[in-house]
Structure 1
Amino acid sequence: MKKDIIIPEVTGLQMAAVLEYNEVDDTNDWYVYLINNKEIDLEMVMIVSQGFSETKTTTVFRKKITKLPAHSYAKVEMIHPNVFALKNRFQVSFFEGNQIFEKTFTFNENTITEEALTMIPLLNKKGVSSS
């Protein structure tokens, strides 16, 4: 029965940690974005995130996005630099048409840094990408 389950490969999605100015607090803060580079809208997007190592774990965070249009992005969460020393995993599930898809994005330990910033085209901002 397991052999009958087809898990399609997910392409065209990207997670990015972006350093941007926070006008409210007058600080530069890190935010995580989900980027839909696909030609199709995504529906009922569920993102489950957690930081972890062999000795530490963070609280599980969940976010629902009802619809993420084609060639768009959504700000998922603020991410604190204290968790950059951990692996940060983002599990994304969504519907594309009537088919459910899932993809896991991982930022490895100490990979979210100002030195690693590159231009993220759809956002038109600098960030660290995971695809």
Structure 2
Amino acid sequence: MKKDIPDNRVEDVAIGVALEKEDIESKLWYVYLINLKDTAIENVLITSKGYGEKNGEQVKTSVLRHMIPQLDAGAYALIEPIDEATFGLSNEYWLSYYIGREIYDKKFIFLPESIVESNFIRLPVLNKPGVMIK
């Protein structure tokens, strides 16, 4: 029954897209998982994909899967590099993890054109400029 499913809310965990390097020709971007909790998270699974419309046609990127055995409290982990060409798409990161025997999951979606300099903040823990969803 639906009432038997626990309502485990994901809090104090974020996905951030950080600008790593910038030169005249290009910018280098990475996606990070940031644990803002005061406890570790374990058996972290992340799937990522991009989708949307580009030049009037539907576009989908490959689905990538990532596993992080443990992410300590107040730590971060690199998920993947991300190409600027996908910023015009919706970039989805589906996160699942355990704390003890409880499972948590949440979908984080960076909407098209949301990864722009006007949305930059100083990402916590990483101390780099970027965009974050919490």
Please, what TM-score do these two structures have when normalized by structure 2?
A: 0.90
**Structure 2: segments with no counterpart, 5+ residues:** none
Q: Determine the structure 1 residue equivalent to 2:124.
A: 121
Is 1:107 aligned with 2:110? yes
Match of 1:92 among 92, 95, 108: 95
Q: CA offset at residue 77 of structure 1?
A: 0.3
- Cα deviation, 1:76-126, whole Å, max 9, x if unaligned, reads 000001110110010000011111110111100001123322111211111
Q: Determine the structure 2 residue equivalent to 1:32.
A: 31
Q: Percent identity?
A: 38
SS of 1:122's equivalent in the other structure is coil
Q: For residues 72 and 31 of structure 1, what CA distance do their matches in structure 2 show?
A: 16
Q: Determine the structure 1 residue equivalent to 2:62.
A: 59
Q: For residues 101 and 121 of structure 1, what CA distance do their matches in structure 2 show?
A: 22
**Structure 1: segments with no counterpart, 5+ residues:** none
Q: Determine the structure 2 residue equivalent to 1:13.
A: 13
Q: For residues 46 and 124 of structure 2, what CA distance do their matches in structure 1 show?
A: 22
Give the CA RMSD over aligned residues: 1.5
Moved more, 49-58 or 71-80: 49-58
Q: CA offset at residue 27 of structure 1?
A: 5.5
How many residue pairs match? The answer is 128
Match of 1:80 among 64, 83, 91: 83
SS of 2:59's equivalent in the other structure is coil
